A and B are shown apart, each in its own frame.
Chain A
Amino acid sequence: MSSPKRRIETDVMKMLMSDYEVTLVNDNMQEFYVRFKGPSETPFEGGLWKVHVELPDQYPYKSPSIGFVNRIFHPNIDELSGSVCLDVINQTWSPMFDMVNIFEVFLPQLLRYPNPTDPLNGEAAALLMRDQKSYDKKVKEYVAKYANKEAAEEAGEDSDDEDEMSSVGSFKSEDEEPAGQMEV
């Protein structure tokens, strides 16, 4: 089982060498953050996201888990958790793919060609299908608000659990409201 570990190192080294800003968590090659820039000529252009990457022990036989830390408005990315719905990093993952593929090809493609028919963010999908212009506008709003350099950095400063706590809290309040209404 030595080769998977070596492969993890190789992949992270490749990321570093292709000019990605990579922040390791716990000096462990298996968990890190990558700064990801929105692809040009898309409403995501100019955005900077911090993407959390976790490589399972069985990487590359198993696909990595990828999540956006700061918010993004995209039909196939969950707004709160940041998890990405993309076939090539889930069902059709091949062990011959690597991290550079993901950041150089898969994620830019996903942002460029969203798939509103299989949404994780229903609102974004509905908006994209109904009104492309407002979708673009809203994406840009999000980029300006959440995906600037400071926001990306800040998302890094905020410890993870804090982030999770707040999102859990918002879930709760949302859930309780309709329940309360029903009781009335």
Chain B
Amino acid sequence: MDGDLGSDDDERGIELSSIAAIFPELVIGSDPFTASLELPISPSRPLLVVFPQLTSNAPASQIAERLEHVSLQEKLELHGPPVSNVTAMLMEVKEISHLPPLKIDIQLPQDYPSTSPPVIHLSSELSWIPETRLRTLETEAKALWEELGHNQVLYDYIDLLQQAADDGFDLVPKDGSAVTFPATLEVALLDYDLKMKRRKFEESTFDCGVCLEPKKGTACYRLQDCNHVFCVECLQSFYSNCITEGDVYSVKCLAPDCERKPTLESKRQRLTKTLEASELIQIPIPQEQVQRYVMLLRKKRLESNSNTIYCPRKWCQGPARSSKPVNKDETEDIESIETPADESDKKKALPLPSERLCVCEDCGFAFCCVCTQGWHGEFAPCFPRSQYELTTEELASEAYLRKHSQLCPTCRARCQKTMGCNHMECFQCKTHFCYLCRAFLDQENPYKHFNTPLLQCYMQLWVMEEGDGDPGDVNLHPVADDQFVQPEDDNLPQAAPPPPAPAPPAPALGHLDDVPHVRYNRRAQRGLARPQALQGHAHGLQRFLAMAAADEEDGWDSDELDDDDDDDEDDI
């Protein structure tokens, strides 16, 4: 460098070379005694900046007026509820910590420093610093030179500029409010700020808290909300692992104690929030993983929402939401689920007819959320099906089971005879029993049951030898109806049927086919599709209790029940 400066003994040369030693960015011009320096500007406190956009419906003078009066406090409030429509619309306070550099062109005249001050020209990229301010700073070079008694002044002057830059060139109004810049500068300034921040970040080194290794900023990522820094490799591995395993709620900051500024102080709300998909892409996480993440999040959100109704089409079963709760829930967060008490209250009351329309998000099927049939319009009556009610299909298979299968007297496992004699051995508990009457059979001599003349199964060993599967087959064996409690009864909390005592290994009670039973006939008349195969009963009281419990859920008329119960008592 020194060689470039021409004569080494020249005071000016010495000064410039020493300045170059302090500011390596100093560029010596073609004339050895000119130089230029770009001073990076990063004010000690980030500048608060507003870029007022002049819109046609708000007169410029009004805005300018407002700008002058808006204090810092008011501006901060702009983030919250808007103070006034105009200001809220037009001003957003931005924080800028890095600004385009100040360019200092220095020319040292022949008689510097003894008789002439240095010739200084200041300029700023994008000319964001007001011209007037630059001119004042230029004149300060002379003042300083005078002050120092016509001595070498460059270092002190650059120092002065540096200090001015740190203070933001006094652009900030005294009351601490934001600086106003023309809107045309907005994009360029913000872009520059971002670029500088990124460069600063990339130049620094971070200790990744996960792999515990120091990494260059280029290999790291700063999480947007909490500013925690991790290396990209660790973030990728962790998030990929979470997404692959479906644990999408763990896709958040890796720091265990990181609470990403909870917006609302509610207990129900999770303190930590999962990352946005856009941020995952920035890290970068592979696109297909991000897609899966978004899909899983949506699914979990729907599943955790009690208002979600699934499409009744069996091949679809996509989520759908009814019209009313949608509006309410989309504004709420997933986490703010109502208390269980509320939910149970809600379940009891059916939604209003106007709120019953649901549209499946996947297949577009519009249906009624109460009767799960295709949408019938608001004014057509719909018959809500209780969830315990059986479909025709289920009823049919139930009827078939009643007709063409038998229960093990011990473990109640169902079996169907395909061929052979009526001596059965339970596949599950190995109990020996009679396929016709469910009586326990003596393991040692099972055929005694069929050979004792007084018993009803006498000589019946080979009845139905071809099996019990023919749909046209007549019901040859009675089924004790108390053994066939509807399967869903078990799930009912309010129904407490008495524990079924195993049928005693006593001689079978005999066919009761011939005893007409009032209740079943009545049901058949009412078309309740109760299979007629239900006939005969063994233990009066137990049966009564079981039926009472079952009847309760089916919602049968209690008056009728009472009559029947009386009949039952009479039977005994």
Q: Which residues of A contact B (CB under 8 A)?
A: 1, 3-4, 6-7, 10, 58, 60-62, 88, 92, 94-97, 182-183
A181: min CB distance to chain B, Å: 13
Give the chain A neighbours of B234 by CB distance below 8 A. 3, 61, 95
A94 to B256, CA, bound (A): 6
Instruction: Give the residues in chain A near B430, CB-CB below 8 Å.
Output: 183
Question: Which of A60, A61, A88, A182 has the most chain B CB atoms inside 10 A of its CB?
Answer: A61
Q: Is the CB of B241 within 8 A of A61?
A: yes
B256 near A7: Cβ-Cβ < 8 Å? no
* B residues 479-525 in Cβ contact with A at 8 Å: none
Contact B241–A3 (Cβ < 8 Å): no
Nearest neighbor of A98 in chain B, beta-carbon distance: B212
Interface of B is mostly: loop
Bin chain B's interface residue count.
Answer: 10 to 19
For the complex of A and B, 7 pairs with smallest distance between CB atoms? A94-B256, A3-B211, A61-B238, A95-B210, A96-B209, A61-B241, A61-B237
With A94-B254, A94-B256, A95-B254 known as contacts, the answer to whether A7 contacts B237 (CB < 8 A) is: no
Q: Considering the chains assembled together, what is the distance between the CA atoms of A6 and B430 in angstroms?
A: 59
Interface residue from B233, B241, B254, B429 paired with A96 (Cβ < 8 Å): B254
State the Cβ distance, B357 to closest chain A Cβ, in Å.
38
| Distance, CA A27 to CA B489, complexed state (A) | 57
Q: Which of B211, B213, B231, B255 contacts A94 (CB 8 A)?
A: B255
User: Contact: A6 with B211, CB < 8 Å?
Assistant: yes
Instruction: Give the docked Cα–Cα distance between A10 and B208 (Å).
Output: 14
Cβ A62 vs Cβ B256 within 8 A: no
B residues in contact (CB < 8 Å) with A: 209-213, 231, 233-234, 237-238, 241, 254-256, 429-430
User: Which residues of B lie under 8 Å from residue A62 when comparing CB positions?
Assistant: 241
- Supposing A4-B211, A6-B211, A60-B210 touch, asked if A95 and B429 sit within 8 A by C-beta, the answer is no
What chain B residues lie within 8 Å of A96 (beta carbons)? 209-210, 254-256
Interface of A is mostly: loop
Q: How far is the CA of A10 from the CA of B234 in the complex (A)?
A: 16
Cα distance A10–B256 in the bound complex, in angstroms? 20
- Inter-chain CA distance A4–B238, complex, in Å, is 11
A15 CB to closest chain B CB, in angstroms?
Answer: 14
Indicate which residue in A3, A10, A58 contacts B233 across the interface (CB closer than 8 Å): A3
Q: Are B213 and A95 in contact, CB atoms less than 8 angstroms apart?
A: no
Instruction: Supply 8 A–B pairs (Cβ within 8 Å), ascending by A.
Output: A10-B212, A61-B210, A61-B234, A92-B256, A95-B254, A96-B254, A97-B256, A182-B429
Q: Which of A58, A94, A182 contacts B237 (CB 8 A)?
A: A58
Residues in A neighbouring B213, C-beta threshold 8 A: 3, 6
The distance in angstroms between the C-alpha atoms of A10 and B213, with both chains bound, is 10
A53 to B429, CA, bound (A): 43
Among B212, B233, B429, B430: residue with most chain A CB under 10 A: B212
Excluding A61-B234, A96-B255, 13 further A-B contacts by CB distance (< 8 Å) are: A1-B237, A4-B211, A6-B213, A7-B210, A7-B211, A61-B237, A62-B241, A88-B256, A94-B256, A95-B234, A96-B256, A97-B256, A183-B429
Most buried by A among B213, B234, B255: B234
Q: How far is the CA of A3 from the CA of B232 in the complex (A)?
A: 12
Which A residues are CB-close (under 8 A) to B241? 58, 61-62
In the complex, what's the smallest C-beta–C-beta distance from A175 to chain B, in angstroms?
15
B210: A residues at CB distance < 8 A? 7, 60-61, 95-96
In the bound assembly, the distance between CA atoms of A7 and B213 in angstroms comes to: 9
Contacts of B212 in A (CB 8 A): 7, 10
A115 to B490, CA, bound (A): 32
| In the complex, chain B residues whose CB is within 8 Å of the CB of A3 | 211, 213, 231, 233-234
Alpha-carbon separation in the docked complex, A60 to B231 (Å): 14
Q: How many angstroms between the C-alpha atoms of A60 and B212 in the bound complex? A: 11
Instruction: Report whether B429 and A4 are in contact in the complex, using a CB–CB cutoff of 8 Å.
Output: no
Bound together, the chains give a CA A31 to CA B255 distance in angstroms of: 25
Q: Tell me the nearest residue of chain A to B247, going by C-beta.
A: A91
A61 CB → nearest B CB, Å: 4
Task: Give B282 Cβ to nearest chain A Cβ, in Å.
Answer: 20
Nearest CB in chain A: distance from B411 CB, A: 9
For residue A62, which residue of chain B has the nearest CB?
A: B241
Set of chain B residues within 8 Å of A94, measured between Cβ atoms: 254-256
